[in-house]
Amino acid sequence: MRVLIVLIFVTLLSACSSAPSQSLSSGKSPSLSNTSETKNQLLQMHREWKGAPYRLGGMSKKGIDCSGFVLLTFQSRFGRQLPRTTAQQRELGKSVSKSQLRAGDLVFFKTGWSTRHVGIYISDSQFLHASTSQGVMISSLNNSYWKQKYWLSRRL
């Protein structure tokens, strides 16, 4: 019983931070500098993945976690290799203020004592992410939950 409790606790602590990392590409994708094209690519990704369920450590439409979804989005839409975990993705690029967000910026949230969540900013306070409750979806930074949990943003 004690082992089960420890396993559950470790799983909760790791949240969107599971699986080994992958290499980071040093080159910038031209499409990320084009805000309109970036937004279109993110909306297309949403159309293709909408409702795909959340699964910790998942990397497919049968189940995907937040950092895995960010990794796959940047890989498939922008030709960029990102690290696998939220903690590693948080180290990328440069810090950007919430008021200066543009399409393609990563937005991070503190969703628990040690859990973190990541999504991709689209525009107009909207971001794309793999939600634990509703799967892949678009949410608003102005939503009371996300507004309270917002932590930081990074530009790649």
* Closest CA relative to residue 106, chosen from 134, 132, 80, 144: 80
Catalytic choice (66, 96, 118, 141): 66
Known catalytic residue: 16? no
The answer to whether the CB of 64 falls within 8 A of the CB of 16 is: no
Catalytic choice (117, 119, 121, 126): 117
* Closest CA relative to residue 120, chosen from 32, 34, 58, 51: 32
Which residues lie closer than 8 Å to 40 by C-beta, 6 or more apart? none
* Closest CA relative to residue 25, chosen from 93, 91, 82, 95: 82
Catalytic choice (129, 141, 153, 156): 129
Known catalytic residue: 117? yes
Secondary structure of residue 34 in the 3-state scheme: coil
Task: Return the active site residues.
Answer: 66, 117, 129
